């Protein structure tokens, strides 16, 4: 694969105040793709984005467009280059003294290349496409956060840019609006074919709309590759970051809490409805947990469950979510997975559990017995979550047993 | 050696201050020139200049009339009681007209416009800066200097002389009100002396002053707003301090340049 990148950052360094924000960033952005930049807050993602568009100049290193050095361009060339860009600001940066219509019309008006009628037509088109025609006379301060984001998006897209940079387009939005913004980006990217760079915290959602992912940490790119590759990444900073973001863990079990799991299920459901991306769930139950509690005490029971949860976590991918569904049940959400693949997951899990003595010395205690059963179901459109979980419960079959 | 350093340090401090000050003036000058040149870059921003003229000029008319009238009235009052001792109250017209046209008109107009329009210029541009709206302009390939600063410079250059003229005229009638209508000086004397003593050079001098003040005020106020993000304070605090210093610095600079200009014009 010898594609040449559209934008290339080579050893870009930037010091702001006493902070070395970027410390030799190497990144390639390819034409027609969406590149996601992820990383901790304050790791310099926005600063990186501002270097791409030229709001900030690097202290060291080079930025190339189509193989040409930006620093060596003439002012006219730079101007031509800048007109290909659009930028969606983190907190929208709408002109608060202008109404929605004027905000969206401004970049077209100021370019002076179009007749007033043409400007009017394009602005109304864009407002209509983004469902903003009802509010075109309102001022940004009168709009909700989600609407402001859409106005910012309209303003960025009205010039038909070749490259659009998004600085955390979904921060502060509810899950449904988040999905809407993501699908809007994806939809527009497919329709207009622009090159996108998205700075985001929305993991794993961002992986579904991007072709490339780069992770910024301590001023350097620590990972660059496809969204599938990042799930298998072994570098601890990448793994920790992604899992850490995915699920603030329940201290007791070491897995995600129930509310996070429920949220995740809702997200997957809306993704299924929107993009027809399938997902499956696996319901794992520890059948004799009460017996364990009774024989060895509650603390041992909890420990047993925790170790079991740990095993389940280890056999999942980064983008999978497992959470405690009930006192003795764990629900695993497997995105982008059909029923057969989910069964494979169960078989793999059973194999690992058999090959490791699960609880070491506890298992040899007389009378200690427990078994694990699993039920699998694939989500279908039009079937609710409760029915899905019930379906998984019906297919439940024992797959591991330990009896002394 | 240490002694030498101790002896030198106050002088070095003075030098540093002077250098800082000179640098700051240089930056202000470049800022103005940049904004001024961009006024003439086609296409001409007629609409924006018109809006600014409305904001800086039209909306100041009331306040200028009010201050002009009372300044003229107080001049008439003070002048009358000063002149009556020498029995030369007929000279009141000259006294009021000359002090208005040469000094009070340009200076007080500038100070009133600083209070009314200058401070809001700084606050408006400062808020646009801290909420990234100026960066947003740049990402849209719109030159923020041309978009925000140039129309204000053009409008100020047009409005200041006109407002000064208005101030002078209203002030002259204010002097008439207190001197003639209230204290009984013959109005014919008042207007005849005003007319005969004011030369064209006085009027031109007043206009030169008002144009220089326009440059000073608009540059300082826009500059403070435009670079509000370089302050140690951030956000709303930064904007408030920028606005305060814009008002203080431009008032002080107006009075200093007034003295300097007067020495040249007299």
Is residue B107 a contact partner of residue B255, using CB atoms and an 8 Å limit? yes
Whole-number pLDDT of residue B249: 94
B235 at interface of A, judged by CB pairs closer than 8 A: no
Q: How far is B41 from chain A (nearest CA, A)?
A: 13
Instruction: Answer whether B131 sits within 8 Å of A91, measured CB to CB.
Output: yes
Instruction: Answer whether B139 sits within 8 Å of A55, measured CB to CB.
Output: yes
Whole-number pLDDT of residue A368: 65
Where residue A404 falls among pLDDT bands split at 50, 70, 90? Answer: low
Q: Which helix (H) or strand (E) holds A395?
A: none
Q: Could you tell me if A222 and A264 lie in one domain?
A: no
Q: Could you tell me if A279 and A236 lie in one domain?
A: no
What is the per-residue pLDDT across A277-307, written as a single tens digit (0 to 9) for each?
888 888 888 877 777 777 776 677 777 777 7
Q: Could you tell me if A85 and A183 lie in one domain?
A: yes
| Residue finishing a domain among A214, A229, A245 | A245
Instruction: Check whether A361 has a pLDDT greater than 60.
Output: no
Instruction: Identify whether B261 is part of a domain.
Output: yes
Residues of A in contact with B131 (CB under 8 A): 91, 93, 96
Instruction: Answer whether A95 sits within 8 Å of B141, measured CB to CB.
Output: no
Instruction: Answer whether B140 sits within 8 Å of A107, measured CB to CB.
Output: yes
The pair of structure tokens assigned to B11 is 């002088």
Residue whose token pair is 């897995």 = A255
> Which of helix, strand or coil describes residue A274?
helix
What is the per-residue pLDDT across B150-204, written as a single tens digit (0 to 9) for each?
999 999 999 999 999 999 999 999 999 999 999 988 999 999 999 999 999 999 9
| Host domain of residue B180 | 46-265
Q: Could you tell me if A240 and A253 lie in one domain?
A: no
The pair of structure tokens assigned to B254 is 């107006």
Q: Could you tell me if A177 and A213 lie in one domain?
A: yes
Cα angle for residues B4, B6, B7 (degrees, 5° grid)? 65
Interface test with B, best of A105, A109, A110 (most B CBs within 10 A): A110
Instruction: Answer whether A107 sits within 8 Å of B142, measured CB to CB.
Output: yes
Instruction: Identify whether B158 is part of a domain.
Output: yes
The percentage of residues in chain A with a pLDDT greater than 70, rounded to a whole number, is 90
CATH of the domain at A253: 3.30.70.270
Is residue A244 a contact partner of residue A40, using CB atoms and an 8 Å limit? no
Q: What is the mean pLDDT of residues A72-95?
A: 88
Average pLDDT, chain A: 82
What is the per-residue pLDDT across A93-102, written as a single tens digit (0 to 9) for each?
899 899 999 9
Q: How far is A95 from chain B (nearest CA, A)?
A: 6
Please state whether A93 falls in left (phi above 0), alpha (psi between -120 and 50) or beta: left
pTM comes to 0.74
B41 at interface of A, judged by CB pairs closer than 8 A: no
A121 at interface of B, judged by CB pairs closer than 8 A: no
Instruction: Identify whether A335 is part of a domain.
Output: yes
Q: Could you tell me if A205 and A302 lie in one domain?
A: no
Where residue A243 falls among pLDDT bands split at 50, 70, 90? Answer: low
Q: Is the peptide bond before A204 cis (omega within 30 degrees of 0)?
A: yes
Residue of A nearest to B138 (CA): A55
Residue of A nearest to B230 (CA): A17
Instruction: Identify whether A113 is part of a domain.
Output: yes
Whole-number pLDDT of residue B202: 93
B41 against A360, higher pLDDT: B41
CB pairs under 8 A between A and B: 45
B235 against B149, higher pLDDT: B149
Which of A83-97, A353-367, B69-83 reaches the highest mean pLDDT?
B69-83
Distance CA A358, CA A268 (A): 31
Residue of A nearest to B144 (CA): A110
Q: Which helix (H) or strand (E) holds A369?
A: strand A369-378
What is the per-residue pLDDT across B87-141, written as a single tens digit (0 to 9) for each?
888 899 999 999 999 999 999 999 999 999 999 999 999 999 999 999 999 998 8
Is residue B148 a contact partner of residue B34, using CB atoms and an 8 Å limit? no
Instruction: Identify whether A309 is part of a domain.
Output: yes
Whole-number pLDDT of residue A209: 84
The percentage of residues in chain A with a pLDDT greater than 90, rounded to a whole number, is 13
Instruction: Identify whether B149 is part of a domain.
Output: yes
Instruction: Identify whether A41 is part of a domain.
Output: yes
Q: How far is B75 from chain A (nearest CA, A)?
A: 42
Distance CA B187, CA A314 (A): 101
Instruction: Check whether B206 has a pLDDT greater than 90.
Output: yes
Whole-number pLDDT of residue A251: 55
Whole-number pLDDT of residue A253: 64
Contacts made by residues A396-400, CB under 8 angstroms, sequence distance 24+: A396/A283, A396/A285, A397/A373, A398/A287, A398/A371, A398/A372, A398/A373, A399/A346, A399/A347, A399/A349, A399/A350, A399/A372, A399/A373, A399/A374, A400/A350, A400/A353, A400/A354, A400/A371, A400/A372
A118 at interface of B, judged by CB pairs closer than 8 A: no
Instruction: Answer whether B133 sits within 8 Å of A55, measured CB to CB.
Output: no
Instruction: Identify whether B25 is part of a domain.
Output: no
Q: Could you tell me if A286 and A229 lie in one domain?
A: no
Instruction: Check whether A249 has a pLDDT greater than 60.
Output: no
Instruction: Answer whether B133 sits within 8 Å of A94, measured CB to CB.
Output: yes
A149-158, A187-196, A314-323, B113-122: which has the minimum mean pLDDT? A314-323
Whole-number pLDDT of residue A169: 84
A91 at interface of B, judged by CB pairs closer than 8 A: yes
The percentage of residues in chain B with a pLDDT greater than 70, rounded to a whole number, is 100
Residues of B in contact with A161 (CB under 8 A): none
Residues of A in contact with B124 (CB under 8 A): 97
Where residue A248 falls among pLDDT bands split at 50, 70, 90? Answer: low
Q: Could you tell me if A206 and A241 lie in one domain?
A: yes
Interface test with B, best of A49, A55, A91 (most B CBs within 10 A): A55
| Host domain of residue A204 | 7-245
Average pLDDT, chain B: 93
A128 at interface of B, judged by CB pairs closer than 8 A: no
Question: How many domains, chain A?
Answer: 2
Q: How far is B111 from chain A (nearest CA, A)?
A: 26
What is the per-residue pLDDT across B80-90, written as a single tens digit (0 to 9) for each?
999 999 988 88
What is the per-residue pLDDT across A250-285, written as a single tens digit (0 to 9) for each?
555 667 767 677 778 888 888 888 778 888 888 888
Q: Could you tell me if A184 and A284 lie in one domain?
A: no
Instruction: Identify whether A2 is part of a domain.
Output: no
Instruction: Answer whether B140 sits within 8 Å of A110, measured CB to CB.
Output: yes
Instruction: Answer whether B147 sits within 8 Å of A110, measured CB to CB.
Output: yes
Question: How many domains, chain B?
Answer: 1
Instruction: Identify whether A1 is part of a domain.
Output: no
Q: Could you tell me if A344 and A300 lie in one domain?
A: yes
**What's the Rg (C-alpha) of chain A?**
25
A357 against A378, higher pLDDT: A378
Q: Could you tell me if A148 and A191 lie in one domain?
A: yes
Q: Alpha carbon of A281 to those of A231, A265, A340, A345: distances in Å? A: 19, 9, 11, 11
Instruction: Answer whether A89 sits within 8 Å of B147, measured CB to CB.
Output: no
Q: Could you tell me if A288 and A235 lie in one domain?
A: no
Residues in chain A: 404
Instruction: Identify whether A142 is part of a domain.
Output: yes
B182 against A360, higher pLDDT: B182
B27 against A169, higher pLDDT: B27
Could you count the other beta carbons within 10 Å of the beta carbon of residue A36?
Answer: 24
Q: How far is B19 from chain A (nearest CA, A)?
A: 23
Instruction: Check whether B205 has a pLDDT greater than 80.
Output: yes
Where residue A364 falls among pLDDT bands split at 50, 70, 90? Answer: low
Q: If contacts are CB pairs under 8 Å, which of residues 5-24 in chain B contact chain A? A: none
Instruction: Identify whether A200 is part of a domain.
Output: yes
Residue whose token pair is 């207190």 = B178
What is the per-residue pLDDT across A84-123, written as a single tens digit (0 to 9) for each?
889 998 888 899 899 999 999 999 988 777 888 999 999 9
Where residue A363 falls among pLDDT bands split at 50, 70, 90? Answer: low
Is residue A370 a contact partner of residue A291, using CB atoms and an 8 Å limit? yes
């Amino acid at each position: 694969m010898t594609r040449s990148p559209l934008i290339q950052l080579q050893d870009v360094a930037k010091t702001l105040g006493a902070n070395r924000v970027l410390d030799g960033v190497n990144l390639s952005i390819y034409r027609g793709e969406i590149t996601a930049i992820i990383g901790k807050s304050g790791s310099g993602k926005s600063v990186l984005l501002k270097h791409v568009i030229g709001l900030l100049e690097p202290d060291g290193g080079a930025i190339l467009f189509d193989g040409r050095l930006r620093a060596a361009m003439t002012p006219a060339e730079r101007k031509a280059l800048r007109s290909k860009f659009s930028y969606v600001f983190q907190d929208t940066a709408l002109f608060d003294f202008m109404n929605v219509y004027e905000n969206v019309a401004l970049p077209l008006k100021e370019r002076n290349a179009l007749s007033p009628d043409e400007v009017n037509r394009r602005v109304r088109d864009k407002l209509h496409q983004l469902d903003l025609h009802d509010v075109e006379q309102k001022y940004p301060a009168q709009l909700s956060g989600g609407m402001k984001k859409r106005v910012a998006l309209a303003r960025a897209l009205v010039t038909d840019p070749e490259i659009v940079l998004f600085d955390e387009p979904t921060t502060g939005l509810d899950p449904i609006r988040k999905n809407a913004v993501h699908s809007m980006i994806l939809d527009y990217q497919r329709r207009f074919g622009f090159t996108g760079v998205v700075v985001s915290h929305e993991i794993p959602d961002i992986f579904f709309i991007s072709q490339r992912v780069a992770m910024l940490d301590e001023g350097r790119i620590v990972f660059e590759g496809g969204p599938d590759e990042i799930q298998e990444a072994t570098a601890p900073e990448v793994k920790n970051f992604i899992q850490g973001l995915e699920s603030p863990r329940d201290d007791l079990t070491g897995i995600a809490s129930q509310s996070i799991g429920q949220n995740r299920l809702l997200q997957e459901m809306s993704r299924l409805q929107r993009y027809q991306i399938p997902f499956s769930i696996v319901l794992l139950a520890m059948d004799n947990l009460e017996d364990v509690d009774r024989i060895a005490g509650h603390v041992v029971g909890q420990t047993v469950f925790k170790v079991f949860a740990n095993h389940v976590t280890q056999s999942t991918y980064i983008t999978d979510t497992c959470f405690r569904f009930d006192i003795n049940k764990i629900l695993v959400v497997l995105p982008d997975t059909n029923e057969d693949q989910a069964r494979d997951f169960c078989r793999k899990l059973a194999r690992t559990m058999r090959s490791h003595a699960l609880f070491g010395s506890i298992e040899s205690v007389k009378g200690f017995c427990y078994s694990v059963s699993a039920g699998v179901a694939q989500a279908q459109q039009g079937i609710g979550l409760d029915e899905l979980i019930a379906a998984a419960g019906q297919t439940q079959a024992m797959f591991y047993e330990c009896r002394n | 050696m240490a002694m030498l350093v101790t002896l030198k340090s106050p002088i070095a401090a003075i030098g540093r201050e002077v250098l800082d000050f000179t640098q700051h003036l240089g930056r202000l000058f470049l800022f103005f020139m940049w904004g001024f040149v961009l006024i003439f870059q086609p296409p001409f921003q007629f609409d924006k200049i018109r809006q600014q003229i409305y904001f800086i000029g039209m909306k100041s008319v009331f306040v200028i009339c009010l201050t002009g009238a009372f300044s003229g009235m107080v001049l008439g009052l003070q002048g009358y009681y000063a002149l009556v001792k020498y029995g030369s109250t007929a000279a009141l017209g000259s006294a009021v007209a000359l002090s208005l046209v040469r000094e009070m008109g340009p200076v007080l107009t500038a100070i009133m416009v600083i209070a009314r329009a200058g401070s809001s210029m700084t606050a408006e541009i400062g808020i646009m800066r801290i909420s990234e709206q100026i960066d947003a302009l740049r990402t849209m390939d719109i030159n923020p200097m041309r978009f925000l600063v140039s129309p204000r410079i053009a409008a100020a250059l047009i409005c200041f002389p006109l407002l000064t003229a208005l101030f002078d005229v209203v002030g002259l009638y204010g002097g008439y009100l207190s001197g003639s209508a209230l204290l009984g000086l013959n109005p014919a004397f008042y207007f005849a002396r005003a007319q005969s003593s004011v030369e064209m050079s006085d009027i031109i001098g007043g206009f030169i002053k008002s144009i220089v003040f326009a440059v000073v005020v608009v540059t300082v106020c826009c500059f403070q707003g435009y670079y509000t993000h370089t302050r140690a304070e951030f956000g709303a605090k930064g904007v408030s301090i920028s606005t305060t210093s814009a008002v203080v610095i431009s008032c002080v600079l107006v009075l200093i340049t007034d003295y300097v200009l007067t020495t040249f014009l007299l």
